[in-house]
Amino acid sequence: MGIFDKFSTLKSRVDLVEKLGVDPFGVKFDRILNATRGLIGNKEIILAGTNNYLGLTFDQDCIDASIKATRKHGTGTTGSRIANGSYDEHVDLENALAKHSGMESAIVFSTGYQTNLAAISTLAGPKDVLFIDADSQACIIDGCRLSAAPTIRFRHNSPADLEKRLIRQGEIEGGIALVVIEGMYSMFGDKAPIKEFVEVCERHGAFLYIDEAHSFGIYGPTGCGLAEEEGVLDRVDFISGTFSKSLASIGGFCLSRHKDFEITRKAMRAYMFTASPTPSNVAAARAALDKIADKPELRENLQARAEQLHAGLTALGFDLCAPPSPIIAIRRPNEMIAASEWNWLMEKGIYVNLAIPPGTPQSSSLLRISLSAAHTIEDIDLILSGFAQLRQESELVMARAQDALAAQ
């Protein structure tokens, strides 16, 4: 038995997908020109799968802040904040996030993934019980695996099913119930009925933790996410998010309306034993937070482009997974057809995400689009034109998938 034999099934799937053309999971851009364009060789590609929701990665203020922080502090922190101390920028960003959201406490992490890994595994102890949405993303699931608390799943976006499971669980002796949901789900782009979840949690004395990674900056009057959009931000116990979407950087954060959340800094292993975010990343995120507060027009354009693309794809007859949002997922019959179509779109200069099992809900095969406030009306028309041509040439694309399967 070889050490890599366990991956033989996965390797067969990868080999099959690679027979269709470019490896969708190993794309190399030679240069990113701006928030909506990149170069592969000399070919310009329109970017429609970057999660750069507000298009701030090329904002001059964010770039300048990042460069200034690097010149001031160097390229890295070379250790954790517990061991090496905090920089002024770390504390300033945490204070700004707390103030912006009206929360009592904010803790910054080195990645968004690490945020959920650290916070969930620490907040839920051995006497507690975790309740998570059935479609939770990987970092939530992994945070639950690291926790000593048992995990109970409830039906996706179903406050009623959560309530049934809370009732069935009954009183938790010596512990609490921690409910974990997302704001906007990363694969389908569907949104949670957050106010209903808040009400269920309040009825049963459960704590509510919302991952707003894909909805922070996008929804709400000040961009705090879907909890703010639904008017219940002050009733949510914990909000997590990432810098790698709307905040145009790398890192993550967890907010809490409980001042005692601060003590978890001394208990979260993934916080205590990981190097803190670099000065450049923190400074870029801080500048982006100001843009979120000061430029509601970014959210307005993003929503308008989402509605434009959703309406256009619907008119073309594509099966879309959710109502309009900055994430638009197109359901495909299987992963080979999805991979063939992904390659076809790349040949036409359109980059989207290929999403296939096991990383998708309901074992779906998807072409996933994530839009940016930097996209124009003309950009969306260009993307729609590509999908219209794909529709016209669907038989040719499917034949390519069948040939690859036959050759396997």
Same-domain status, 31 and 153: no
pLDDT in tens, the chain (408 residues): 899 999 999 998 888 888 888 889 999 999 999 999 999 999 999 999 999 999 999 999 999 999 999 999 999 999 999 999 999 999 999 999 999 999 999 999 999 999 999 999 999 999 999 999 999 999 999 999 999 999 999 999 999 999 999 999 999 999 999 999 999 999 999 999 999 999 999 999 999 999 999 999 999 999 999 999 999 999 999 999 999 999 999 999 999 999 999 999 999 999 999 999 999 999 999 999 999 999 999 999 999 999 999 999 999 999 999 999 999 999 999 888 999 999 999 999 999 999 999 989 989 999 999 999 999 999 999 999 999 999 998 877 777 777 766 666
Give the pLDDT of residue 259: 97
Same-domain status, 302 and 289: no
- Give the chain's domain count: 2
Same-domain status, 239 and 273: yes
Same-domain status, 195 and 331: no
Domain boundary among 272, 294, 316: 294
Same-domain status, 262 and 363: no
Which two tokens mark 355?
């999403």
Q: What pTM was estimated for this model as a whole? A: 0.95
Domain boundary among 238, 271, 294: 294
Same-domain status, 67 and 47: no
Domain boundary among 238, 273, 294: 294
Considering only CA atoms, which of 402, 332, 340, 394 is closest in space to residue 365? 332
Provide the residue range defining the domain that includes 135.
Answer: 59-294
Give the pLDDT of residue 406: 66
Same-domain status, 375 and 326: yes
Same-domain status, 35 and 75: no
Same-domain status, 200 and 66: yes
Same-domain status, 73 and 45: no
